Structures are given as C-alpha cells and as structure tokens.
Structure 1
Amino acid sequence: MTIHIRDATADDLPAIARIASAAFHPATDAIAARLFPTQLQEQDSTRDNDIYSWRYAKKTASLSSPDAVMVVAIDDALPLSDQVVGFGLWDVYEDKPKPAHNTYTQTDSEKAANQPRSTVQEVPPPSFDQEANKDLDYLGVDPRHQRKGIGRMLLDWGLSRAASVNKDCYLMATPAGRPLYTKRGFEVVRTVPIFGVPHHSMVFRHGN
C-alpha cells in the first residue's frame, strides 16, 4: 500500500461524495441520522441516493470556496477508479485584504448544498487560527480502508500546513474520532451535546 496526499480536483468529487456517504451514514452517525431520518424515505436505496446527491453538492461547493482546502488520500496500488481512499476538508483563513466589492457569486451547487434538509442545521466546526470560526471541517476515510493510518496522514497534512504559518488547529470531534486527535496532541476545550451525543471542541496548539 502506497498512500500519498494531494489536492482534490473536480474529478475526485464522485469518490469523495461516496466516501462521505459511507463513512458518515445515518446508521452509524448521529448527525446524518437527523439529516436523513428513516421515516422520510420508504426505501433505503432512495435515501442512499439522496445522501450521495447532497454530499456531492456540499463537496462541490467546498471545492470552489476560496476559504476551504480539500485534499485526498490516494492509494496508487489500487485500480484507478478506487484510488481515492480518504479526504480532508479544511477551512483556511489567511491574512489578506478584503476586496472593495464582493465579487464571489454562489454557484448552483453551492445554493443546493446550503438548502437545509430539515430544521436541523449542521454544526460549524472550530480553525487554523483562534480568531477564525472553524478549521478542520472533517476527515473521511473509506470504511474499506480504515485502520491503516490514512486518517492520521490526512490530519498530519493539515497540522504541517498550520505549523508552516504558526497557527493553532481547531476541530469538533465525535466520540469515535476523539482518540485519533488525542493521540496526536489535541486538547479538549469543551464538550457539547449534539443530538444527545457528546462532541468535543479540541485544539492543537502550535509548538506542542
């Protein structure tokens, strides 16, 4: 297994959406379960298609956002169609002058992604900079390739980038994700319940 990290492209979006749908499925993820409740769909296949379409729209919007960076983990040993085995989505806030006029226009995909599926809104994760609103949006690893160190590689990519600009890193961890971040040196700032499940606001301080 030879894994490397590179910037995501539009060609990677189907694989990223597929991984996000599988790794954060309503059957195993509390937030996804509230966004896609079983009673709204009569057939699991219909719901799964709906989940994939929504994930695809969200990732398309993120890829085109000037304040987000998306990377993918690639396994060169796999067939070309299966080489994307994970992804990382980071919110990046850099010191740059604000334009005199807002020249950024939402695409159709962004508009679709921002439409709430229900009264439940996604919880914004915390950032590369303490003054920013968020940092590590989330990591996703193909369930078929978990426990191979891919999540750690994706996390280290972001930590290295943050270190290069002397920034701290912030994130909101699920109970399942917390051990990875704790082992890497993140500290719990506070714990908040989300849909009855404790989630942990965590920070990795530059210089740790």
Structure 2
Amino acid sequence: MTIRIRDATVDDLPAIARIASAAFHPATDIIAARLFPTLLQEQESIRDNDIYSWRYAKKTASLSSPNAVMVVAIDDALPVKDQVVGFGLWDVYDHKPKPQNATRTQADLEKTANQARTAIYEVPPPSFDQEAYAELRAIVSADHQEMFGQTGIKDVWHLDYLGVDPQHQRKGIGRMLLDWGLSRADSENKDCYLMATPAGRPLYTKRGFEVVRTVPIFGVSHHSMIFRHGK
C-alpha cells in the first residue's frame, strides 16, 4: 500500500460522495439514520441514491468554499489509477487559496457553490429529514459558541469530515489524513477542533486530542475534542 495525500479536485467529487455515503450510512451512523429515516425495504435503493446526491451537493459546496480545505488519500498500489480511498474536509478561515482553484474565476466558484447550496437547502432529496438537519446544525453551532465564543471556529482548524472507504479501512489511511491536517494547522500556529463520534473517538485520543465536553446528538454522546498547537 502506497498512500499519498493531495488536494481534492472536481473530478474527485463522485468518489468522495460515494465514500461519505458508505462510511456514514444510516445502518451504522446515528446522524445519517436521523437525516435519512428508514423507508420500506423496497425503497432502500431510493434512499441510497438520495444520500449520494446529498453528499455530492454538500462536498461540491465545500470544494467551492474559500473557507474549506479538502484533501484525498490516493492508493497508488491499486490497479485503478489515482483511486481515491479516503478524504478529509477541514473548515479553515484566513487560509491561503487552494491551488486547484487558481485558474477558476471567483464568479465560477460562486456559481458552483450556489448551485450546490440550492440542492442542499432549497431542493433536498425526498427522503431527507429537514427538521432533523436543522436540529443538528443548531447543536453543532451551539457547541462552536460554547467552545470558542463569538468567533466560533474561525481561529482553529475544524475537522468537519474524515472518511475512509470501508473496503480500505484499518490500514492507517484515517491517521494519515488526520496527520496531514494537524501538520498544516501547526504550520499556522492553530489548534485543531472536531466533534467525534463514539466510533471515531479512539483515533483522535491516540493522536493526542483532548475531550473538552460531551454533547448529546440524537440521543448518542459525541465528544468535542481539541488538539493543542505545539503539543
């Protein structure tokens, strides 16, 4: 296995959406289960398509955002060239522009982002629970305020998503993606913050993150965690 980390591009979005859909599927993830409630057995394929469409729109908006940094993990040992096996998405403010956006005009970026936001907020998939999503956003926003005050997450590197293809998990890919972000944050003298699921907490604890507070999300305890700069 030969893993390398690089900036995500538009061409990576289908793979990123597929990995996010599989790694955070309603069958295993409490948040996804609430956002996409269980349908009849014969409608599960419809729900899975809705999940993919929503993930794709979300990641498209993130890639277009000047306040987000998205990278992918590539396994060069696989037969498929440039195959994405994982991704990391960080909310980062006052960060240098992403190289892949250098040749695109600001108008193009804003158009892409607006189209994605419309897909997310104005025309969500039929099986998507908008009330649950609003509740989730309120919980997360409140945690940002509780942790950092009025500035929210603007002074830290916030790990929004860390996803690894289920077929390639337990190979250290998540750790490599995490270390990439920690290294970049350290170069900017910033702490790192994330909200960990119970399943994800061990990875972050082993890397040196500290649990600051526990936050219930849809009846399951999640953990606000900090990695202190220079630790």
Compute the TM-score of the two structures, normalised by the length of structure 1: 0.89
Q: Say whether 1:108 aligns with 2:120.
A: no
Q: Which residue of 1 aligns with 2:101?
A: none
8 Å contact from structure 2 (residues 76, 82) kept in 1: no
8 Å contact from structure 1 (residues 26, 32) kept in 2: yes
Match of 1:174 among 177, 197, 202: 197
**Residue aligned with 1:203, SS:** strand
8 Å contact from structure 1 (residues 41, 47) kept in 2: no
**Could you tell me how far apart the structure 1 residues matched to 2:30 and 2:87 are?**
20
1:70-81 correspondence runs (5 A): 70-80=70-80
Q: Which residue of 1 aligns with 2:69?
A: 69
Q: Which residue of 1 aligns with 2:18?
A: 18
Instruction: Tell me which moved more, 76-85 or 172-181.
Output: 76-85
1:186-197 correspondence runs (5 A): 186-197=209-220
Any stretches of 5+ residues in structure 2 without a counterpart? 97-106
**Could you tell me how far apart the structure 2 residues matched to 1:80 and 1:10 are?**
18
Q: Which residue of 1 aligns with 2:179?
A: 156
Q: Encode CA deviations 1:147-204: one digit per residue, 9 max, x unaligned.
A: 0000000000000000001000000000000000000000001001100110000000
**Residue aligned with 1:52, SS:** helix
Any stretches of 5+ residues in structure 1 without a counterpart? 97-102
Aligned-pair CA distance for 1:41: 7.7
**Residue aligned with 1:88, SS:** strand
Q: Which residue of 2 aligns with 1:133?
A: 153
Which amino acid is the alignment partner of residue 88 of structure 1?
A: G
Which amino acid is the alignment partner of residue 107 of structure 1?
A: N
8 Å contact from structure 1 (residues 36, 47) kept in 2: yes
Quick check: which one's helix share is greater?
A: 2
Question: Aligned pair in 2 of structure 1 residues 40, 65: CA closer, same or farther (>3 Å)?
Answer: farther
Q: Say whether 1:119 aligns with 2:131.
A: yes
Seq. identity, %: 77
8 Å contact from structure 1 (residues 93, 132) kept in 2: no
Compute the TM-score of the two structures, normalised by the length of structure 2: 0.80
Aligned-pair CA distance for 1:94: 1.5
8 Å contact from structure 2 (residues 39, 47) kept in 1: no
**Residue aligned with 2:77, SS:** coil
Q: Which residue of 1 aligns with 2:228?
A: 205
